[in-house]
Structure 1
Amino acid sequence: MSFQAYLDTIETKTGLTPRQLLAQATDRGFGSATKATPIIQWLKEEHGLGRGHAMAMVHVITKGTQISDKHVGSGTVHADASNTLWLDGKATNPNAAK
C-alpha cells in the first residue's frame, strides 16, 4: 500500500480528510516535537485507527507532507505518484489514479 493510500483509507474510515485530522492534532498541541505514542493513542481512541494508519498520520503531524523519493514512480505496490502527500481529500487529489 502506498503512503497516499494509507491517507485515503484514513479518510474512508474516519470521514475526515487528513488535513482535518492535522487541524485536530494541532488544536491538541501535537506537532513536530510530539512523540508517536500520544498521537497513536488519540487516533485509536477518538477515530478507531490502527497502528499502521495512525503512523501515517504521525508522519504528517510531525514531519509534514514530504516523503522520500524511494517509491515514487517505482511501479511497486508501495509506489506513490508524488513525493508530496495530498491532505485535502481523495476525491480532489490531482495525482490520483484515474
Structure 2
Amino acid sequence: MSFQAYLDNIEKQTGVTPDGFIKLATEKGFTKPGTKATPITDWLKAEYGLGHGHAMAIVKLLRDRGVLT
C-alpha cells in the first residue's frame, strides 16, 4: 500500500484531511520540538480509532511537512 493510499484511507475513516491532522496536532501541542511519536499515536488511536500503521502514517506526514522535528 502506498503512503498516499494510507492517507486516503485515514481520511475516509475519520473524515479528517491530512492538513486537518496537521492543524489538530499543532493545536494539541504535538508539534513542539522534541515530541516523540508515541503521544501522537496514542492520541490518534484513542480519538480516531486508527491502528498503529495508520497513526504512524500521520506521524510521517507531520515529519515530512516539517511540523514535527
Report TM bin, short chain.
0.7 to 0.9
Aligned residue pairs total 65
Identity, % of aligned pairs? 57
Tell me the residue number matched to 2:22: 22
Tell me the residue number matched to 1:39: 40
Secondary structure of residue in 2 paired with 1:4: helix
Task: Using the TM superposition, name which of 26-35 and 5-14 deviates more.
Answer: 26-35
CA distance in 1, matches of 2:43, 2:9: 17
RMSD: 1.4
CA distance in 2, matches of 1:62, 1:47: 20
Rg: which structure is higher? 1
- Structure 1: which 5+ residue stretches go unaligned? 66-98
Return the TM-score normalized by structure 1.
0.62
Tell me the residue number matched to 1:52: 53
Q: Note the C-alpha offset of 1:33.
A: 2.9
4+ residue runs of structure 1 moved beyond 6 angstroms?
none
Task: Using the TM superposition, name which of 28-37 and 7-16 deviates more.
Answer: 28-37
